[in-house]
C-alpha cells in the first residue's frame, strides 16, 4: 500500500481587486482583461479546502456578473471599499487568522508586508498570488509562498460591436431630364 498524504487545510483567499486588475491591464495592455477564477482558484488551493473568498474592490461600479459568479462558484463575496482595499482586506485577514490555516492574499502591493508578518506571527501560513512583474520583491520574500499569476490565468473580453443602424433615408428616385 502506497503512503498517501491527506491534506486537510483550510484556506481563505482575499483579493485586492484594484491591484490585481491594474497589474493584469498593465501586462496585457488591455483594460478588458479579467482573471479567470474558474482555473485560478483550484490552482491556488492545490487540494486544500476553501473557507472564504472575498474580492475587495474600490468604488461603486462592481460588476453584478462578478458578484454572482463568485457567489455561485465559490460562495465568495465582493466587498466595495470606500478608498483602497488595504485596510478592509487587512481587517478581514486578521479576523480570519484563527479560523484558517492559510491566507492567500492576491496582491503585489508592498503595503501588505506588515500584515503578512503579523499573520505569520499568529501561526497562519501566508501566500501571495500576484503578477510577478508588478509585485513587490519584499512582499514575495516575506510570504511563505508566492504564486505567479500569468497570462494563462486571465482572459480578454472582446467588446460586442453595435449593429449598424439601417439608413432610413429614401433613395433619390427622380430621373434627371
Mean pLDDT of 16-31: 93
The residue extents of the domains of the chain are: 10-156
What would be the CATH architecture of the domain defined by 10-156? 3-Layer(aba) Sandwich (3.40)
Beta strands 49-58 and 33-35: pairing type? unpaired
Q: Does residue 172 surpass a pLDDT of 60?
A: no
Encode pLDDT of 47-82 as tens digits.
899 999 999 998 767 788 888 989 999 999 999 888
Higher model confidence: residue 173 or residue 67?
67
Q: Does residue 175 surpass a pLDDT of 70?
A: no
Query: CA-CA distance, 164 to 145, in Å (whole number)?
Result: 51
Residue 64's pLDDT is 84
Give the range among 61-70, 76-85, 148-157, 164-173 with minimum mean pLDDT. 164-173
Amino acid at each position: 500500500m502506497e503512503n498517501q498524504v491527506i491534506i486537510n487545510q483550510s484556506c481563505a483567499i482575499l483579493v485586492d481587486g484594484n491591484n490585481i486588475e491594474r497589474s493584469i491591464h498593465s501586462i496585457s495592455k488591455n483594460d478588458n482583461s479579467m482573471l479567470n477564477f474558474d482555473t485560478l482558484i483550484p490552482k491556488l488551493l492545490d487540494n486544500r479546502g476553501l473557507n472564504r473568498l472575498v474580492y475587495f474592490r474600490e468604488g461603486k461600479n462592481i460588476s453584478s456578473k462578478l458578484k454572482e459568479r463568485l457567489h455561485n462558484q465559490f460562495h465568495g463575496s465582493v466587498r466595495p471599499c470606500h478608498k483602497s482595499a488595504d485596510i478592509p482586506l487587512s481587517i478581514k485577514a486578521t479576523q480570519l487568522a484563527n479560523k484558517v490555516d492559510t491566507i492567500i492574499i492576491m496582491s503585489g502591493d508592498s503595503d501588505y508586508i506588515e500584515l503578512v508578518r503579523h499573520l505569520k506571527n499568529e501561526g497562519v501560513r501566508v501566500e501571495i498570488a500576484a503578477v510577478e512583474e508588478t509585485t513587490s520583491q519584499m512582499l514575495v520574500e516575506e510570504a511563505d509562498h508566492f504564486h505567479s499569476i500569468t497570462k494563462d490565468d486571465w482572459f480578454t473580453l472582446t467588446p460586442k460591436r453595435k449593429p449598424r443602424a439601417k439608413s432610413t433615408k429614401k433613395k433619390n428616385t427622380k430621373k434627371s431630364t
